[in-house]
Chains A and B, each alone.
Chain A
Amino acid sequence: MSGQNQTPEKGKTEKNRTEKLMKRNTAYKKRQNLYQKIAFSLMRLAVVVTMAVLIIIIGDIILKGYPAISIGFLTQMPTNQMTEGGILPAIVGTIQLVILSLLVAVPLGIITAVYLAEYAADGKVKRIIEQAVNNLAGTPSVVFGLFGMALFVMYLGLPLSLLTASLTMGLLIMPVIIRTAQEALIAVPKEYREASAALGVTKWETIRRVILPSAFSGMITGIIISTGRAAGETAPILFTGAVFFYPRLPDSVFSPFMALSYHLFVMATESINIELTREIQYGTALVLLAIVFSMNLIAVGIRRHYKKKSFSSH
């Protein structure tokens, strides 16, 4: 590059030097382009590895789990010491667990998010709460399990049940709901708040009539993602109410329950005949994966729909 500006009228030595420089320059460039080629290939390789892992895992579960899936598998109780039959109680238990945990986490999470986004002034209190949310989000799920057992079962004396597991799971998914709801609220334009205030509308009425409806789809996305999380987590329910086998469907929040995640874990590690029930294990894994992924897909769909809508409207 630097050499191109030189004019031929300059002296011969100058010309030589320029040529040398250009040569060195092109050599340098060649080398740099080689490095670039290597680096970019490594990046492509990394992405390929990541995607391959994803495809292999999902593919394996789908291919080997699919043969196990039948209407009977989804609607029957396990029989013959769990080596045959369906996984109905685990499906029902997981759904109940998810709904109850949402009942705990959604109100608390949204109230906290509204406080953080609308009421709290920038300052110590807000910073401490946000710090607490972050730390809760980073706390290992097994620690939630320990805590749930210590507080709900040992201290409050509740029976090991859907209730204790849902309370524990609810606290676990709360930070996800808080964060996504807070983001959704912050994304609501400041102008709406001003316009509403200028009409003589109070803060709470503004939140209720304008801000919450505007943030709704964002909050729903967070709730759905946390639904998937609640369905998939195992450690928090290990010692707060999930059981290996319960011959009935849970009839109240105080009864123990089976869950897909725990069922898969036990069947794969501790059941009577691990090899024999491989198909049931794969079937269970597939059902669990399907529940979690369909939740994620719904969330992505809502987000896309919302984005499109907001683009076309402005």
Chain B
Amino acid sequence: MSKRSIRDFKEKSMKSLFFIGGITTILVLLLIFVFLFAEALNFFKTYSLIEFFTGTQWMPGASPERFGILPLLAGSVIVTAGAIIIAVPIGILSAIYIAELAGPRTAGILKPAVELLAGIPSVVLGFFGLVILVPHIQSIFNLTTGQTALTGSIILAIMALPTIISVSEDAISSVPSALKQGSFALGSNHWQTIYKVIVPASISGISAAIILGIGRAIGETMAVMMVTGNMAIIPGSDLFLSSVRTITATIALEMGEVARGTEHYFALFAIGAVLFVMTIGVNLIAEAIKRKHRLEA
């Protein structure tokens, strides 16, 4: 009996240990939330919420200091949008190729290659962009600087590509072959089968891939910061060819220098909180789409 009670006690304590471990993830997420928002609230004690969200100038050094998030938001949105415009067609076409056309050996090379691309550290990509891409953009478009939103978009597209490829490839590969065979049996050729049967059947998986790609692009810091020029202004008609500054780059650039406890310091937490909410939103959308996909299947 005593042997049994020792064993039961051990079982119970292990169970509690694993439960506590499991809870830590929730705790970490909550802590991130609390710390970001606590510091952000400090900011709104002295700075108007409306001015923050509608202000078109981000000028920490000026007097009075201006902390309008719009130029940074514009920077993030433009760079991300550009990245998605580039990465989505290339990514989805590549995914279809890997899932549908490539033989097992080719796929066996392409898949690890995509993983390799995903493994390149963002700072290395940023460095490559800075040294190789920036001068090219400058000379092609005849600009004073090659550090533009377009440059950022290209680098971000490279970063989002692996996510888009691997997630949509999974979705496409999981389409039941019976559906495919049904289409072939009706005399459709391979391409008709792909765009009339396979892509519609995997559309929620592909959408989730795109949204996850957006999430990855919006949150990316180092690579963007190194190639976009970091001018905190809302771009005019030259949109992609102007220098921009994203939310992430602003935090990374200014947090190192700022004096702690100042309005500027809290302002950086405020834009951090906005970024956090944006990425959580993107994640939740991707989750919802994936769940819907699972229910459909």
B222 touching A265, Cβ below 8 Å: yes
B122 within 8 A of A: yes
A120 touching B22, Cβ below 8 Å: yes
Residues 228-244 (chain A) with a chain B CB within 8 angstroms: 228, 231-235, 238-239
- Which of chain A's residues have a CB closer than 8 A to the CB of B243? none
A268–B283 Cα distance when bound, in Å, is: 33
Contact A139 B117, CB 8 Å, known A128-B26, A268-B127: no
B14 touching A296, Cβ below 8 Å: no
A265 touching B14, Cβ below 8 Å: no
The bracket for how many chain A residues form the interface is 35 or more
B120 touching A57, Cβ below 8 Å: yes
A231 touching B36, Cβ below 8 Å: no
Contact A118 B127, CB 8 Å, known A50-B90, A139-B32, A293-B119: no
Contacting residue for B221 out of A136, A141, A232, CB 8 A = A141
A79–B194 Cα distance when bound, in Å, is: 59
- Which of chain B's residues have a CB closer than 8 A to the CB of A239? 255-256
B110 touching A134, Cβ below 8 Å: no
B191 touching A39, Cβ below 8 Å: yes
- Which of chain A's residues have a CB closer than 8 A to the CB of B25? 112, 129, 132-133, 136, 174-175, 178
B26 touching A132, Cβ below 8 Å: yes
- Give 1 or 0 for each of A88-125: 1 = CB within 8 Å of chain B CB: 00000000000000000000100110111011100001
- Which of chain B's residues have a CB closer than 8 A to the CB of A119? 15, 18-19, 22
A135 touching B280, Cβ below 8 Å: yes
Contact A289 B120, CB 8 Å, known A44-B97, A150-B269: yes
Contacting residue for A292 out of B121, B189, B255, B276, CB 8 A = B121
B226 touching A265, Cβ below 8 Å: yes
B192 within 8 A of A: yes
A47 touching B280, Cβ below 8 Å: no
B21 touching A296, Cβ below 8 Å: no
The secondary-structure label for the interface of chain B is helix
- Which of chain B's residues have a CB closer than 8 A to the CB of A22? none
B93 within 8 A of A: yes
Closest B residue by C-beta to A43: B97
A51 within 8 A of B: yes
B130 touching A268, Cβ below 8 Å: yes
A149 within 8 A of B: yes
Q: B135 → chain A, closest Cβ, in Å?
A: 12
A263–B10 Cα distance when bound, in Å, is: 48
- Give 1 or 0 for each of A142-153: 1 = CB within 8 Å of chain B CB: 111111011100
B113 within 8 A of A: yes
Residues 173-220 (chain B) with a chain A CB within 8 angstroms: 187, 189-192, 194-195, 212, 215, 218-220
Q: A284 → chain B, closest Cβ, in Å?
A: 9
A289–B268 Cα distance when bound, in Å, is: 31
A-B contact count (CB 8 A): 251
Contacting residue for A232 out of B102, B110, B124, B187, CB 8 A = B124
Q: Which of B17, B28, B260 has the most CB of A within 10 A?
A: B28
B116 touching A296, Cβ below 8 Å: yes
A47–B100 Cα distance when bound, in Å, is: 13
B94 within 8 A of A: yes
Contacting residue for A289 out of B11, B21, B121, B255, CB 8 A = B121
B96 touching A43, Cβ below 8 Å: yes
A302 within 8 A of B: no
Q: A12 → chain B, closest Cβ, in Å?
A: 27
Residues 33-61 (chain A) with a chain B CB within 8 angstroms: 33, 35-36, 39-40, 42-47, 49-51, 53-54, 57-58, 60-61
Contact A264 B191, CB 8 Å, known A112-B25, A174-B25, A204-B10: no
A223–B32 Cα distance when bound, in Å, is: 23
Residues 1-56 (chain A) with a chain B CB within 8 angstroms: 1, 29, 32-33, 35-36, 39-40, 42-47, 49-51, 53-54
B131 within 8 A of A: yes
Q: B8 → chain A, closest Cβ, in Å?
A: 9
- Which of chain B's residues have a CB closer than 8 A to the CB of A39? 191, 194-195
A147 touching B35, Cβ below 8 Å: yes
- Which of chain A's residues have a CB closer than 8 A to the CB of B85? none
Closest A residue by C-beta to B191: A36
A235 touching B252, Cβ below 8 Å: yes
B93 touching A146, Cβ below 8 Å: no
B116 touching A116, Cβ below 8 Å: no
- Which of chain A's residues have a CB closer than 8 A to the CB of B14? 204
B191 touching A116, Cβ below 8 Å: no
The list of the 6 closest CB pairs from A to B, nearest first, reads: A140-B219, A232-B121, A111-B21, A115-B22, A36-B191, A46-B93
Residues of A within 8 A of B (CB): 1, 29, 32-33, 35-36, 39-40, 42-47, 49-51, 53-54, 57-58, 60-61, 108, 111-112, 114-116, 118-120, 125, 128-129, 131-136, 138-147, 149-151, 154-155, 171, 174-175, 178, 202-204, 228, 231-235, 238-239, 261-262, 264-265, 268-269, 278, 281, 285, 288-289, 292-293, 296, 300
Query: What are 9 A-B pairs at a CB distance below 8 A?
Result: A43-B101, A115-B22, A133-B25, A136-B28, A139-B279, A285-B127, A288-B124, A292-B119, A296-B119
Residues of B within 8 A of A (CB): 7, 10-11, 14-15, 17-19, 21-26, 28-29, 31-32, 35-36, 39, 89-91, 93-94, 96-98, 101-102, 110, 112-117, 119-128, 130-132, 158, 161, 165, 187, 189-192, 194-195, 212, 215, 218-222, 226, 248, 251-252, 255-256, 260, 268-269, 272, 275-276, 279-280, 282-284, 286-287
If A140-B248, A281-B127, A288-B121 are given as contacts, then 11 extra A-B residue pairs at C-beta distance below 8 Å, sorted by A number, are A1-B187, A47-B110, A51-B113, A57-B124, A58-B116, A129-B22, A138-B286, A142-B252, A147-B35, A151-B31, A178-B25
